[in-house]
Structure 1
Amino acid sequence: MKFLIPSTLFLGLSALSALASDLPPGVVSARLLPGWVDQAGNRMSAIELQLEPGWKTYWRQPGDSGFPPSFDWQGSTNLESVTLHWPAPEAIWSGDELTLGYHDRLVLPFTASPQMAEAGSELQLAMDFGVCEKICVPAHVVMRADQPDVRPDPQILTALKRVPVPSDVVPGCHMTPIEDGLRLVVELPQSNVDVAAMEVIGQPDIWVSTPALHSGTQGTSATVELVPPSASPFDLDTEDLLITLIDDAGAIEMQGCSTAG
């Protein structure tokens, strides 16, 4: 989702403190950490958002009413692809409404793969995202990275340790059509789940509700509704479903669910 902002904020790292008064509401600083180049020639870096105390920003799948962030790397040079490594989000409650995101500070690591390994890359990101205190507002920043450091950045390494661990488990599931899409029930492989999230890989235009967790004698299940742009029942390839489970011990991710049985 793109947010239309009347003016573009362009930030070089050296100018951040001087232009702090021009940042979106609730944002203290926004920058690309320089990072380092790994042995394969990829740039390991991170987006850092420092927020005012009490403010929050959203995860990639924010829940029923959050702002999903968007990323535009077209201003970069010698860039083939970017892979984001999202740390496990927090559960943020506002009354009875749950959203997933981060309080106060987000360090979002990414791997930037160059088109030509022997040449350097210049990284520029235009990012649209939401920030909230009592109300939520769209924000837009443009950031450039300085040249990479020689050694890995401990801040980035710490954030990478918080990324959900992939799991080979393929849980069972069943789905039924509803008026504007599908209802999907997934039988979770563990009972001690604090928060669950689901999304459809490569199809961000499919709205997915915040999972409702139900515990019973047969275990714990998570129920979501999926609504495509057509607002009608559709064929879902369950192999494209990404399920994230979060508890006190950390987070895991499972891809796909099985409708057999």
Structure 2
Amino acid sequence: MRLRKTLLAALALLASPVVAFSQSFDDVLVATLLTGWRQSDGSHMAAVQLSLKPGWHTYWRAPGDAGIPPLFDLSGSGNFKGVQVIWPRPDVYTDNGLRSIVYYDEVVLPLRVMPKANGKDIALTAKIDVGICKDICVPQTLNVSAVLPATANKRDPRIAAALADRPFSGKQAGAKNLRCQISPSADGIKLATTLTLPRVGQREAVIIETADPLLWVAEPEVTRNGNQLSAITEIQNVEGAPFMLNRSGIRITVLGESRAVEINGCKGG
């Protein structure tokens, strides 16, 4: 199987204002931080908006066979403890037999930002590395910053719409009986998953991720029989070393034209 050498880096994200600061490159990509609002639990819901020229795309957290995910460095931020990125439903793009998981034209990535000191502003500074593609692929680095006011309480409809488009949980979607069978293969292991899940739309796609960034997961072979969905994939270590697969760290996302479903962890079959 084709082994993708690019390693998936861990998520660490960003955030910012309604229009605090933006940066563009050759009129192809503009990044804007949306300041959002402070939530009742003390966290701040912000977002980064990536706007591309028509026909261009950028990548989801697991980019597929070709591409890189957005990578964020927030080490220069003030009153910053951590962040959770919330990924809206992406699209599937296939070119020359390679499958990529992408966002076309524009995407708003909601960010739940946790401050060190509750009730105070967050000074967010983010370096964002992304890949953008059309006929060619171009890496870009964006530097953006903004203050997330502690007093902000008005919901931004752009962020709210992106939150509404995030994947359903397995429980919400009626997923049941997820099982994983692991067996050795020539270069790693074979993972076979089965679950009960009503169809999520036409042209379903399955993406399987692991908790280990050194593990490469091939595009699975997917079959459906009524509500029974099966996927078989190959997993290899990009360094060629032996490895153990933690079933609790497996994440399965099922994409459809109408919605997406995300299931975390699976039991042995």
TM over 0.5: yes
Gaps of 5+ in 1: 4-11
Does the CA contact (< 8 Å) of 1:166 and 1:254 recur in 2? Answer: yes
Q: In 1, distance between residues paired with 2:197 and 2:138?
A: 36
**Could you say which residue in structure 2 is the equivalent of 1:117?**
118
Query: Once the 2 structures are TM-superposed, how far is the Cα of residue 25 of structure 1 from its aligned partner?
Result: 7.1
Moved more, 71-80 or 232-241: 232-241
**Could you say which residue in structure 2 is the equivalent of 1:126?**
127
Matched, 1:192 2:199: yes
Do the aligned partners of residues 31 and 217 (structure 1) sit closer, same or farther apart at CA in structure 2, a change above 3 Å counting? Answer: closer
The one-letter amino acid of 1:171's match is L
**Could you say which residue in structure 1 is the equivalent of 2:158?**
155
Moved more, 89-98 or 100-109: 89-98
The one-letter amino acid of 2:64's match is G
Among 144, 160, 166, the alignment partner of 2:169 is 166
Counterparts of residues 15-26 of structure 1 (less than 5 Å): 16=22, 20=24, 23=25, 26=28
Matched, 1:106 2:100: no
**Could you say which residue in structure 1 is the equivalent of 2:186?**
179
Among 239, 256, 259, the alignment partner of 2:265 is 256
Deviations 1:2-22 (A, max 9, x none): 99xxxxxxxx95563xx63xx
> 3-state SS of the aligned residue for 2:107?
strand
Q: In 1, distance between residues paired with 2:147 and 2:139?
A: 26
> 3-state SS of the aligned residue for 2:110?
strand
RMSD: 2.5
**Could you say which residue in structure 1 is the equivalent of 2:37?**
36
> 3-state SS of the aligned residue for 2:159?
helix
Do the aligned partners of residues 24 and 240 (structure 1) sit closer, same or farther apart at CA in structure 2, a change above 3 Å counting? Answer: farther
Do the aligned partners of residues 2 and 236 (structure 1) sit closer, same or farther apart at CA in structure 2, a change above 3 Å counting? Answer: closer
Q: In 1, distance between residues paired with 2:103 and 2:184?
A: 33
**Could you say which residue in structure 1 is the equivalent of 2:83?**
82
Query: Once the 2 structures are TM-superposed, how far is the Cα of residue 95 of structure 1 from its aligned partner?
Result: 3.6
Do the aligned partners of residues 254 and 64 (structure 1) sit closer, same or farther apart at CA in structure 2, a change above 3 Å counting? Answer: same
Does the CA contact (< 8 Å) of 2:178 and 2:195 recur in 1? Answer: yes
Deviations 1:117-163 (A, max 9, x none): 03221111111111100122221111112444430100000000111
Query: Once the 2 structures are TM-superposed, how far is the Cα of residue 37 of structure 1 from its aligned partner?
Result: 0.7
Matched, 1:225 2:234: yes
Among 214, 233, 240, the alignment partner of 1:205 is 214
Gaps of 5+ in 2: 1-6, 10-16
Q: Given the two structures, how large is their TM-score scaled by the length of structure 1?
A: 0.85
